[in-house]
Amino acid sequence: MIDQAGSTIAAGQRVALALEYHGAGYQGWQAQYRPGTPTVQETLEQALGRIAAAPVRVQCAGRTDRGVHASHQLVHFDSPVARPVRAWVQGANSLLPDTVVVKWARPVDATFHARFSARARRYRYVIFNRPVRSPHLAALSAHFPWPLDEVRMEREAQALLGERDFSAYRGAGCQSRTAMRNVHFIQVYRRGPWVIIDIQANAFLLHMVRNIAGVLLAVGSGQAPAGWPAQVLASRDRTQGGVTARPEGLYLVGVDYPPAWQFPDEQPGPPWLAALGTGSS
């Protein structure tokens, strides 16, 4: 793709931004505009608004929950003023806290929508699997002290593939009109003490990934029998689904768009996980 760092985005032009953020300390993505309720969206909009000297409102590819991270989130907004691309990247990053970073900015056609143009979202749930927790990793991964059989977890997870009714894996308060979602793949693999659940779907329901992770952790630790993930799915009853896994281990790592948008290819994160090697790219 052509380097656009030196180009200027005109007033009224739609802009796509790629973000990375550490979700600890935020009450999720969605702005609540209440004092003392920090959100990623509001933090980003304040920085962009200072660059534009005008209010800026953004739309995202997928709203993350409280404490959830993103190594690749996509947003769009309509620029109220003409600004160089570097202003939306370097300028915004100079105003953002260390926990939120703009990775790149691109002018896009007005038909682009960060949410509705996306074909798929991909998450990784990262588990630190050893008897004692690590104080260094508490906000970066979910600690699970009991032994896990990752092979069994992956085998059982395949029952969730395809277009299904995920009512039993849907969090209370979910506002989606339908619980139908199409899961493209689920991989579960180990790298030393780390167990990673890697899942992609066309879209996700509220707490869906964390609820799936909670069920797979129960199966992988022997607390639930083989076949339980499929039984939970078939029940369409959230009360049958066990606990919701903690948010600290969850990362939005990819959003897939049609090639026509020509967005840069990126390896799914989180970046620190790459040093361990991953099950797929």
| Active site positions, annotated | 65
Give φ, ψ of 126 to 5 degrees. Answer: -105, 120
CB 109 within 8 A of CB 89: no
- Distances in Å between the Cα of 159 and the Cα atoms of 81, 162, 178, 221, 241 are 50, 9, 20, 18, 14
Reduced DSSP (H G I as helix, E B as strand, rest coil) percent helix, strand, coil of the chain, to 5: 25, 25, 45
Longest pairwise C-alpha distance within the chain: 59
Q: Tell me how far apart the alpha carbons of residues 158 and 185 are, in angstroms, rounded to a whole number.
A: 8
The amino acid present at 240, given as its one-letter code, is: Q
Q: Tell me how far apart the alpha carbons of residues 256 and 133 are, in angstroms, rounded to a whole number.
A: 34
Q: Residues with Cβ < 8 Å from 58, sequence gap 6 or more?
A: 17, 41, 44, 45, 48, 75, 76, 77, 114
β partners of residue 182: 163
Q: Residues with Cβ < 8 Å from 144, sequence gap 6 or more?
A: 127, 128, 129, 195, 217, 221
